Structure 1
Amino acid sequence: MIYNSPRGTEDYFGEEIKYRDFLTETSRSLFKIFNYSEIITPHFEHTEVFSRGIGENSEIVQKEMYTFSDKKNRSLTLRPEGTASVVRAIVENKLYSGNLPLKLFYIGSMFRYERPQKGRMREFCQIGVESAGSDSPSIDADVIWLLYELFRKLGFRNLTLYVNSIGCADCRAEYVKMLEDQLIPVKDSLCQDCNSRLGKNTLRIFDCKVKTCREVLKNVVKISDNLCENCLKHFNEIKSLMDVLEVDYVHNKNLVRGFDYYTRTIFEIISSDINSAQNALGGGGRYDNLIKEFGGPEISSVGFAIGLERTVLLMKELGIKLPDSMKFLNKTYIINMDSVYDKYVFELLRYLRSRDIYCDTNFNIKSVGKEIKFAQNNGYENVIIVGEDEYRRKSVKIKNLKKYSQKEFEWDSEKEKILNFLKKTE
């Protein structure tokens, strides 16, 4: 019997791994430049972590979580997003007791039971940051800047940041009442999903892509026009800092995010090169109350997340190529022409690998032509052929497959020259 992977999951190998490595390595490097440290949390948590953190009425909690009971009948859930787990870890381990803001990043698998589609899987990798311990608009600007820089480093162009403010708990409550008063008389024009959101998670109606709902929303009052004095001042300061950083942003008054914990600042980055309504690359926002709700002190936080698989998919669609350093690691392939030369081949491998040369050998003896073709197709820059002459003379004959050049060295006396030759780049 042949087993298939579960629906909504994938196996990754070959070129896909190179893209994933490039994305995670670029993220880690940039996060460290911005003074973020990595945090790793469990793949599953007590269900309350997400129902309380994300919101009981959110679509993720209502429809998309993988929840199960363990052998002691405790309700556990595979994490559907990263923020709630990070907040739980901050509170449980009292990570807020040191210097603030606490700047953390994470890279890991998330799980949501939703209809699998292009770039959206039931198991997916999320890359995100959380900065806890400052209510200053400057930290919001710093996090938004980091998101913008990440996609710029990855090779995306024509980027635009959508920013908005959904206010604090006080001004948002007043706004939601005003909005519901406007929407209830025209609810027959809203789709079924938006009718179910009305009164429960009303702001999520702005996320709807149905044409009739979009038409209704054109005429309703916008939250950023009804902010309290402090929230308006906070939002204006963020925009002024974006101007200083020369980050291209648009104040999108219809922008909302799918989690109940957001307060004030929310943001989303898009690529105008993607001709689709699904052109968002990543996003995030501020959450001022979540740490306190988890039993910690009253400190503010802000963060963002991107989907790794969706980002790789968009890189390929836009023709963003991997840098040569990810494609070709100056790899060397040792072609062994007969198993009687195994000891000599392993002597070469031991020396080269101990000096960080990426190298391998053929473990099944084939013709030289087939082995060279294999090396060319798999990104090897050099081949070393070990045949009867090389074995007898204890020599190393190196062929450069990119320059079509060849050079021979004495193994016992010219090891450093061999290393220098193999480490040369174009």
Structure 2
Amino acid sequence: MFKKVAGCRDMLPEQVALWQRLEQISREVFALYNYKEIRTPLLEESSLFNRSLGEAAEIVQKQMFIFKNETDSYALRPEGTASVVRAYIENNLDKTSALAKLYYIGPMFRRERPQKGRLRQFHHVGCEVLGSGAPGLDIEVISLMDTLLKSLAIANYHIKINSLGCADDKKNFAIFLRTNIGHNLNKLCPECNTRYNLNVMRILDCKNAGCQEIIRNLNIHDACLCRECADHFLEVKQGLDLLGIKYEVSPYLVRGLDYYTRTVFEITHDSLESQQNAIGAGGRYDNLIKEVGGPDLGAIGFAFGIERLFLVMQESPAPESKPLIYAIGLGDQARKQCLLIVDELRKNGITSDTDYENKSIKGAMRKANDLSAQYVLILGDDEIKKNTITLKQMSSGKQEEIKREELVGKIKCYTHIHAVN
């Protein structure tokens, strides 16, 4: 027997219903903020991620699924931003609009050790705003995240923000870290010893207890920010205050991707383990578009892990599905008539199904019950002669014989279904 690949999940119908609800709510929120959907390929040139994420990034070093032939190297996308930026440049979106506000919903892939909240195939819902470095967009994107969480009835989350500053500020911050951590190298975990040389800022992400103690003693503040970046961050904070959005400034927040500049943010949730409690994150990446071959324009974005969102969504009933009408034909002629009946019902926006397996009346009724049908239609030779049909309510057992031409109207009346336009 074949089994699914470790780190991947089957999504069964009841889970799909919740998933579709999340997608629908997300699309409605993005539309409120005037974002348009973009869909990019799952497969990209691996060099796109090498360039955008940085050769030293853990994703590039350890986590990408790579496919090579004699001349080319491709990767399943490990995140969405680089693909959106590539599409923005390749399709000249900077020339068709001064500002591109885009969102996406789809699968990502990383070769990680599967655990709760971490999968090899996972899904992101996120957005990117490309074409401007205005701090007002930082405010809007964080506001959008907050609105989306509230629309999903998610509570007990915390918004953490920080500013990494510009490229020069990041260099100065790296010098500060190396200067203040260097004498404690023997106390760092092996991975952070590697990070010290490759990307010292990533040490701040480490969850190792010894590394955390060193980090807490660093007395990090915003002294490394230039005046322009400090003013930018101040305007972001003032805008969030104006909108009444609660946040916490976390000087230790750096995020794991090298392309971030200036504002970065993370959403954590109380119900998740402290080491894996982020449900979404993002930030500004003002150099990335130019870095991968486009114009020198600012950009900002975020992504939520959909599987992470499901872990923290409050227990709520599954979205109510439309009532199911199940048609049972007793005999060959009646079964043919049932095909016409369910076709008519479907054309009128009524969810319907029929017995294709020629079951006995008892077996067909059992099938209707298994499908949670609200009403059953029973058609036999007598009903065909009289041009009627028997309509039975499953919950009460009550049934009535009605004229065929009255069927659609009766069902709409009983189930409060409106006609499809």
Instruction: Name the residue aligned to 1:14.
Output: 13
TM superposition shift of 1:424: 4.4
Specify which of 285, 290, 294 is matched with residue 292 of structure 1: 290
1:354 is aligned to 347
Give 1:198's aligned residue: 196
Gaps (5+ residues) in structure 2?
none
1:313 aligns with 2:306: no
Matches within 5 A, 1:195-274: 195-222=193-220, 224-274=222-272
Relative to structure 2, which stretch is displaced further, 35-44 or 405-414? 405-414
Say if 1:37 and 1:104, in contact at 8 Å, map to a contact too: yes
Change (3 A) 1:422 1:53: same
Show the counterpart of 1:364: 357
TM-score scaled to structure 1, two decimals?
A: 0.91
Query: How much has 1:404 moved relative to structure 2?
Result: 6.5
Displacement, 1:192? 1.2
Secondary structure of 1:171 counterpart: helix
The match for 2:319 is: 323
Q: 1:5 aligned to 2:4?
A: yes
The structure-2 alpha-carbon separation of the partners of 1:189 and 1:390, relative to structure 1 and needing over 3 Å to count, comes to farther
**Alignment equivalent of 2:74, drawn from 73, 76, 82:** 76
Note if 1:333 corresponds to 2:329.
Answer: no
1:354-394 alpha-carbon deviations (Å, 9 max, x no partner): 12211111222445565555445544333323345444433
- Superposed displacement of residue 154, structure 1: 1.4
Give the equivalent residue in structure 2 for 1:25: 24
In terms of mean alpha carbon deviation, does 269-278 or 238-247 score higher?
269-278
CA separation of 1:422/1:176 partners in 2, compared to 1, >3 Å: closer, same or farther?
same
How many Å apart are 1:303 and its aligned residue? 0.4
Partner Cα distance (2:348, 2:86) in 1: 43
Q: Which residue of 2 aligns with 1:395?
A: 388
Alpha carbon RMSD of aligned pairs, Å? 2.2
- Report the residue type matching 1:233 in the other structure: D
Distance 1:186 1:380 in 2: 67
Shifted more, 390-399 versus 352-361: the winner is 390-399
Letter in 1 for 2:416: K
The 5 Å alignment of 1:407-422 reads 408-413=401-406, 415-422=408-415
Q: Secondary structure at the match of 1:242?
A: helix
1:386 corresponds to 2:379: yes
Partner Cα distance (2:396, 2:261) in 1: 58
- Which residue type is aligned with residue 45 of structure 2? H
- 1:36 is matched by which residue type in structure 2? Y
2:298 maps to a residue whose letter is: S
One-letter amino acid matched to 2:386: R
Residue 229 (structure 1) shift: 1.3
1:163 aligned partner, one-letter code: I
Contact 2:348 2:408 in 1 (8 A): no
Deviation string 1:133-174 (CA, Å, 9 cap, x unpaired) is 121111011111111111211121122211111111111211
The residue that corresponds to 2:279 in the other structure is 281
TM normalised by structure 2 equals: 0.92
Q: Is 1:51 aligned to 2:53, yes or no?
A: no
Q: Which amino acid aligns with 2:227?
A: E
Percentage of pairs with the same residue: 39
Task: Give the counterpart of 1:187 among 185, 188, 191.
Answer: 185
Distance 1:407 1:143, change over 3 A: farther
